Amino acid sequence: MVTPLNNTLRSDTKHQEVLCPALFISAMASGQGKTTITAGLARYHRNQGRNVRVFKTGPDYLDPLILEQAAGSPAEQLDLWMVGKQRCRHYLYEAAKSADLILIEGVMGLYDGDPSGADLAEFFGIPVAAIISAPTMAQTVGALALGLTQYRPSLPFAGIIANTLGSDRHAELIAESMPESIPLLGCLKKQDSMALPQRHLGLVRPHELEDYDDRLNHIAEILHSAGLTELPAAVAFYDSDEPLEDKANNSPLTGVKIGIAKDEAFSFIYPANLKALEQAGAELSFFSPCTDQQLPNVDCLWLPGGYPELHLEKLSNNQSMQKAIKAFYEQGHKILAECGGMLYIQQSINTLDGQEWPMAGLIPGVGVMRTKGGCQGMQSAELPEGVLRGHAHHRSKSESTLPAIAFGKRIKHPAPGEPVVRSKGLTASYLHFYFPSNLAATVKLFQSAEKNRATASVLEGKYA
């Protein structure tokens, strides 16, 4: 269990506290409505003219897009393991300086994972609103609420939100069951207009639907009618006493041009990763493997994850781009391919209905789509360049590819995680890396071998 932040930093922090209303929105499990309710609250307060900052706990690319659309401000990741305590603290402090409200969406159930959402909320002293979806229960909600709030008495609680109810009478029964010490923040009836569209890896991205803003505005009004839109209590935030970046004005990627695949097929990109590359001096250029015919003038490539399986015809038919990337690879340039990007650089992708679509063919391997998940969750990879943290989340498997040079290491589970393969300047894996977890290793992934050797002594100890 993590020690609460406000008990350890009030006495010795060098930074002035910043107060801002904040709420941590969690649930008893996945699929309870966390994203919908967080996005609805963000949209409501944005519509009232407030500056809303939103965060997502844990590794996720889709929910932050929805939160960003709702709030009109970037959604950063918060995770005590992947992002780190100091960086999480800094993000919250910077947000609190300008925000009228901070909303944080949890991941899975409140106490799931190590560290869990409860650990993060307690570490920063942020009150929890726990969602209980109760379409098939009534008074038992009171018992579940008692368990959630008393399982860790030190965790600050704002109250309970009862979701997907059938009627007003259903809500009355739940209200009667609640212990007096636990506020029932509101009750929401089950209705189709509260649901956000989903697909196999999560929610549909906002830009894919023309009426997404209308949906968010409607959800905001439903939450307001249910009495859920009062501003939460203010929380004191402090900045980190430890610098997050090197202060010696050293930019090891100065002059390095990185081409990044970004389109409807490749979009799983942490904003923090882009910032890390830019802070290291890199020049970033974006291109589309779906529609562009040639690569931009760059020194190395990053092919992030996404939904290549939804755009196989475009990717497979764009042979000009495939040839350009293969020629780039044959010249020995650095390439990082993650998850969907890794599937794209193999020989082909096989769909659930048995179709095989040729891909770029840089290395052997076939990506086979399947209905169940692979080696999911948080993992770190011990690469020759250093240890990088990240996560895996996919519904496919890679067959007949190259031998692994390393495997992801899970936080606690002893079984090997995702394999990492390497050929020429290419590094490929199902892992999505969080670059700020080790900027020195990230820099080496994108630098030429000659530049790596020239800057190794300068980087030693600065970014790790």
Per-10-residue mean pLDDT of the chain, 464 residues long, equals: 37 70 96 94 98 92 89 93 94 96 96 95 98 96 97 97 97 97 96 64 59 91 96 94 58 95 94 94 98 97 95 97 98 97 97 94 95 78 95 89 94 89 97 95 85 48 43
**Among the options 20, 88, 187, 339, which is catalytic?**
339
Q: Quick check: do 17-237 and 257-459 share a fold?
A: yes
pLDDT of residue 283: 97
- One-letter amino acid at 326 equals K
Q: What is the C-alpha to C-alpha distance for residues 243 and 240, in angstroms, rounded to an integer?
A: 7
pLDDT of residue 16: 83
Structure tokens given for 144: 């579940």
Closest by CA to 428, choosing from 326, 337, 304, 329, is: 337
pLDDT of residue 131: 98
pLDDT in tens, 43-72: 999 999 999 999 999 887 788 889 999 999
Q: Where are the domains of the chain?
A: 17-237, 257-459
Q: For 17-237, which CATH superfamily applies?
A: P-loop containing nucleotide triphosphate hydrolases (3.40.50.300)
pLDDT of residue 192: 73
**Any catalytic annotation for residue 187?**
no
Topology at the third CATH level for domain 257-459: Rossmann fold (3.40.50)
Q: What is the C-alpha to C-alpha distance for residues 276 and 355, in angstroms, rounded to an integer?
A: 39
Give the predicted TM-score (pTM) of the model.
0.87
- One-letter amino acid at 157 equals F
pLDDT of residue 12: 40
pLDDT in tens, 384-432: 999 999 999 888 999 999 999 999 999 888 888 999 999 999 999 999 9
pLDDT of residue 210: 67
Contacts of 412 (CB under 8 A, 6+ apart): 114
